[in-house]
Copies of this chain bind each other. A is one copy, B any other.
């Protein structure tokens, strides 16, 4: 028989989502999350660098998902088209986890530290996307990536808040149009 229940990391994530959701991030201690997961505080901090990270642990992969999508776009595709391919990949995985993502959003928007961390994650996405765009020879790749991620965030926000979800790609095209109007 196994000495411990398997999947401790996942149990910590579930426990955090529950407790942060019930009482708010600031009112829950790391030790409480660990206890609900049947683990100790020390083990919590072995899995996650800090109390916030338990809500963000899987986001690094998403940055690579976008970047890989851009790399997978046909060579003749314009940068904008390549970006849309990148976000399409993201969109699929988001659909399956919509409920969990929504609960997570509600927790994050209630707390300034978590909003800060979310911004940092988006910045990492931006860096990964910029790198993929630079490989395609896009000029001012960092800035272009910022615009793309900002548009993607807007589209995601509209998608998750809507009862009847708007297709992500459509929202992004609208966003790009607004940006075009601004810089023209």
Q: Which residues of A contact B (CB under 8 A)?
A: 79-80, 112, 115-117, 119-120, 123, 138-140, 142-144, 146-148, 150-151, 154, 174-184
Q: Are B116 and A147 in contact (CB under 8 A)?
A: no
Let me know if A183 and B119 touch, CB within 8 A. no
What B residues does A80 contact at CB under 8 A?
A: 182-183
Copies in the complex: 2
Determine the chain B residues whose CB is within 8 A of the CB of A115 once the complex forms. 120, 123
Could you say which of B147, B150, B178 contacts A139, with CB atoms under 8 Å apart?
B178
- Which B residues touch A179, using CB under 8 A? 140, 143-144, 147, 179, 183
**How far is it, in angstroms, between the C-alpha of A119 and the C-alpha of B127 when the chains are bound?**
14
Evaluate whether A180 and B183 lie within 8 angstroms (CB atoms) in the complex, with A119-B119, A120-B115 already known: yes
- Whether A175 contacts B143 in the complex (CB less than 8 A), given A80-B182, A150-B150, A180-B183, comes out as yes
A-B contact pairs, 24 of them (CB 8 A): A79-B182, A80-B182, A115-B120, A115-B123, A116-B117, A116-B119, A116-B120, A119-B119, A119-B120, A140-B154, A143-B151, A143-B175, A143-B178, A143-B179, A144-B179, A146-B147, A147-B150, A147-B183, A150-B150, A176-B183, A179-B179, A179-B183, A180-B183, A183-B183
